[in-house]
Amino acid sequence: MVQRCRWRTVGRALLRVLTVWAASTLTMLALAGVLPDFRLQAPDGDSATRTALTAAWGAGAFGLLSALVWPLVVRALLLVPALLLGLLVFFLNGSLLLLALGLIPDGRGDVGPETAVVVAAVMSAVASATSTALAAGDESAYPRRLSRVAGRRRRRNGLDGGEDGPPGTVFVQLDGVGHQVLVEALAAGLLPHIAERLGPGGTHRLTHWRTDWSSQTGASQLAILHGSNHDVPAFRWYEKDSGRTIVSNRPASAAELQRRAVKRTGDGGLLTLDGASRGNLFSGGADQLALVLSMAARRGRSNRSRAGYFAYFRDPANAVRTAVSFAVEVAREVAESTRARLRDEHPRVGRGGLYPLIRAFATVVERDVVVAAVMADILSGRSAVYADFVAYDEVAHHSGPRSRDALRVLARLDWCVGAIARATTYAPRSYHLVLLSDHGQSEGETFEGAYGLTLRDLVRAGCGLPVPRRAERTRSGAEARYAARHAVRAALHRPVHEGTLEEGAVTGSGPVVLASGNLGLVSFPDVPGRMTREQIDRRHPALLRTLAHHPGIGFLLVAGERRGSVVLGRHGTEVPVAELVDGEGPLRGFPPGAADAIRRTDSFPHVADIMVNSMFDPDTGRVHAFEEQIGSHGGIGGEQSHAFLMSPLELSAPQDVAPAGQDGEVGADGARLVGAEQVHRVLRRWLRECAGPQVPLPPGVVPAQVTGPAGAEGRAAAGPVAAAELAGPAAAGEPSGDAVDDVRSA
């Protein structure tokens, strides 16, 4: 019986190879008939049979070279950046075709170099599609394939039979997806794979957590993976002691932030024990890395930061499929931005230049590579995996967090979650699947769009420094310069002529003004240490008043000489940081937790001289970003501070690890967890639970099982990983426009 099954398996594999070979041969014949500089015949002509044999020879040689030579070529190029490697794939694939045609006897195969790239891409796509179709018709093909890959990886790692011990954990971060947006998308039916774990009899719980003042990936993910985001006041900030600007998504800055966090905690990170980090800003101490920014500059044999590309680009069909999806995404972005302009939608920001390419990289290339890497980790039986999908966050910045465009991207990420969950069912160990976000997004017109000038323009005008003519013509700019002139005149008791400032009234270099969503940071680089309110008033008498009274600004944080740091608001409100109360004074209208978040940031060594938070409308949730984003995050106000954590019921409840004195408490805004550092403690405890005895289940709770879609239809829809799941929405389907509109109306 066993022997018969073995022969049946061999027969199916042989039939699949022959079918793919035949499809490739027909494709080559068709291309030779269509493309003028692609020839499969001798110069004096050949019979149809001879031409067919030539095509079969060429297709077979190309298939063998792709299977044997291609993996070696890609492995040799691991140090090449991901996007460049994706482009090189086509030229290398074309080179393999040229080599294959050169192996045809009597020189009957001939093709131009440019045409070879096209022919190779089409043939790879057809071969992949044919293999996919054959596997989709065989329900057992997908489990067999994953089980075979898992077994091969186990043997490579020197593991014996059976499960590898305690369960592993896969953390999937949906970047920028706020708690409320997730709830609305679930209610609209946009996220079926996530919804099946949260519905009646589901296996997961949904928890709301609140971010720090700096509600952005740099601060949140650094704390989640490394346990500390101390002294991270924003996404970007100026450090006077070193004279440099730290930007969280720059490799050198990310590496420095990770180094500081490790030094402060004395621990390598969440993933130090047999972990993998995929698509993140920081490594978390993992040894297996792919698309990790803090490690992007490493070189040499020990560099594993790009090894994850190999799992994806080793198959040329994957590169072809990703390239097609990339082009479709660029076209989709151009169409959507054109549609927004024609309809005169507001708020709206510019979406030209390189943005369509940046969006396509985030929503296609990064997604595909990360999914492939995570699946490889699961089939290898790795203990902990943390992956970040940035697609939704990138699109929501420019289209809006509830836009049709952003919700479609979110729905495609749900299919990625489903693919990862199905892979866990064939892993050599059981897995817990944890979903979370690092922050949400708040919508609103940009500060410049609402008032005609940037925050930098307003600061310079308040300092009496030159500003662009467009800013001078705005009401805010004119008022700021008027206030600056007359403040200087009052301070010096001298007349100030229109359009000038008294010599010596403004000294030193101009201020450094940086933006992090609706959080602005103003620093004076020529003054060592943090300037106090009194120093700023002496140097720029109108600046703080100009900023605090502006309708687009909610409050300011500045240091003080007599009363310590103070928060300034409109109408002259001024409250020492130590006396701040949520919802009162300058924090009127802002959500609960703002006072504590401000006090914590005020203690950072590199807090800016002036921290500026935009206005917030509690009725609409609207804020004003100080950069070109209609969906923004980075400060306080609205949904940007409200993230989610979705965890298996088998693991202990997240709120059980609240800080001392707060155990079991729930914030006034319903947040179960406060701050990304607390989320890190929760994830650490779960990893300890997985490594040790399992936590007993409460009565009536169904054990968590990470399964794919129920029934034969679900199994057939799953398809092979490389062909269906990594192909994105074209293979898996997209949400209907009606469902997206339901969430928008909500």
* Mean of all residue pLDDT scores within the chain: 77
Q: Which residue has the higher pLDDT, 6 or 559?
A: 559
Q: Which amino acid is at 644?
A: F
Q: How remote is the C-alpha of 474 from its chain's centroid?
A: 36
* CB contact at 8 A, 122 and 132: no
Query: For residue 681, what pLDDT band results from cuts at 50, 70 and 90?
Result: very high
- pLDDT on residue 349: 86
- pLDDT on residue 167: 93
- Evaluate if residue 458 carries a pLDDT over 80: yes
- pLDDT on residue 386: 97
- pLDDT on residue 706: 30
Convert the pLDDT of each residue in 142-186 to its tens digit: 445 555 555 655 555 555 444 557 899 999 999 999 999 999 999
Burial code (b: 16+ CB inside 10 Å, e: under 16) for 459-491 equals: bbbbbbbebeeebbebebbebbbebbbebbbeb
Beta bridge partners of 575: 567
Query: For residue 490, what pLDDT band results from cuts at 50, 70 and 90?
Result: very low
* CB contact at 8 A, 212 and 600: yes
- pLDDT on residue 318: 72
Burial code (b: 16+ CB inside 10 Å, e: under 16) for 240-251 equals: beeeeebbbebb
- pLDDT on residue 625: 96
Beta bridge partners of 709: none
Across the beta sheet with 610-614, what order do the strands follow?
Answer: 512-516, 519-523, 610-614, 553-558, 566-568, 574-576
User: CA neighbours within 13 Å on the CB side: how many for 417?
Assistant: 27
- Evaluate if residue 720 carries a pLDDT over 60: no
Which of 41-45, 89-93, 371-375 has the highest average model confidence (pLDDT)?
371-375
Query: For residue 565, what pLDDT band results from cuts at 50, 70 and 90?
Result: very high
Average pLDDT over residues 304-309: 53
Average pLDDT over residues 431-436: 97
Domain 170-298+305-443+644-653+665-693+715-743 CATH class label:
alpha beta
Average pLDDT over residues 470-496: 45
* CB contact at 8 A, 703 and 650: yes
- pLDDT on residue 700: 36
> Cα–Cα distances in Å, from 244 out to 300, 465, 606?
28, 23, 12
Convert the pLDDT of each residue in 323-366 to its tens digit: 778 888 999 999 988 888 888 888 888 888 888 998 998 999 88
Average pLDDT over residues 223-236: 97
Which of 40-54, 211-225, 291-305, 314-328 has the highest average model confidence (pLDDT)?
211-225
DSSP E strands, 88-160: 110-111
- pLDDT on residue 487: 44
Percent of the chain, pLDDT > 90?
47
Note if the bond before 233 is cis, omega within 30 degrees.
no
Percent of the chain, pLDDT > 70?
65
Which of 78-82, 128-132, 158-162, 221-225 has the highest average model confidence (pLDDT)?
221-225
- pLDDT on residue 484: 44
Convert the pLDDT of each residue in 110-152 to its tens digit: 666 667 666 666 666 666 556 555 544 444 444 455 555 556 5
Helix, strand or coil, per DSSP, at residue 658: coil
- pLDDT on residue 200: 84
- pLDDT on residue 510: 84
Average pLDDT over residues 22-42: 72
Query: For residue 18, what pLDDT band results from cuts at 50, 70 and 90?
Result: confident
- Evaluate if residue 709 carries a pLDDT over 90: no
- pLDDT on residue 704: 33
- pLDDT on residue 571: 80
- Evaluate if residue 77 carries a pLDDT over 60: no
The pairing of strands 275-278 and 384-389 is parallel
- pLDDT on residue 96: 60
- pLDDT on residue 252: 92
- Evaluate if residue 81 carries a pLDDT over 70: no
Convert the pLDDT of each residue in 591-639 to its tens digit: 999 999 999 999 999 999 999 999 999 999 999 999 999 999 999 999 9
Q: Which residue has the higher pLDDT, 61 or 580?
A: 580
Average pLDDT over residues 555-573: 92
Distance of alpha carbon 644 from alpha carbon 198, whole angstroms: 13
What is the full DSSP assignment across 558-573? Answer: EB-SSS-SEEE-GGG-
Q: How remote is the C-alpha of 452 from its chain's centroid?
A: 31
- pLDDT on residue 205: 95
User: Which strand (E) or helix (H) includes residue 632?
Assistant: strand 631-632
- pLDDT on residue 93: 58
- pLDDT on residue 551: 94
The pairing of strands 288-290 and 275-278 is parallel
Query: For residue 716, what pLDDT band results from cuts at 50, 70 and 90?
Result: very low
- pLDDT on residue 505: 35
Distance of alpha carbon 332 from alpha carbon 323, whole angstroms: 14
Q: Which residue has the higher pLDDT, 82 or 500?
A: 82
User: Angle CA(375)–CA(377)–CA(383) in degrees, nearest 5?
Assistant: 130
Query: For residue 235, what pLDDT band results from cuts at 50, 70 and 90?
Result: very high
Listed range (51-60, 104-113, 257-266) with the worst mean pLDDT: 104-113
- pLDDT on residue 266: 93
- pLDDT on residue 369: 87
Whole-model pTM: value is: 0.77
- pLDDT on residue 495: 38
What is the full DSSP assignment across 468-488? Answer: -HHHHTSHHHHHHHHHHHHHH
Distance of alpha carbon 158 from alpha carbon 160, whole angstroms: 7
Taking residue 182's Cβ as centre, other Cβ atoms within 10 Å add up to 25
- pLDDT on residue 5: 57
Pinpoint the residues of the chain covered by CATH 3.40.720.10.
170-298+305-443+644-653+665-693+715-743
Query: For residue 420, what pLDDT band results from cuts at 50, 70 and 90?
Result: very high
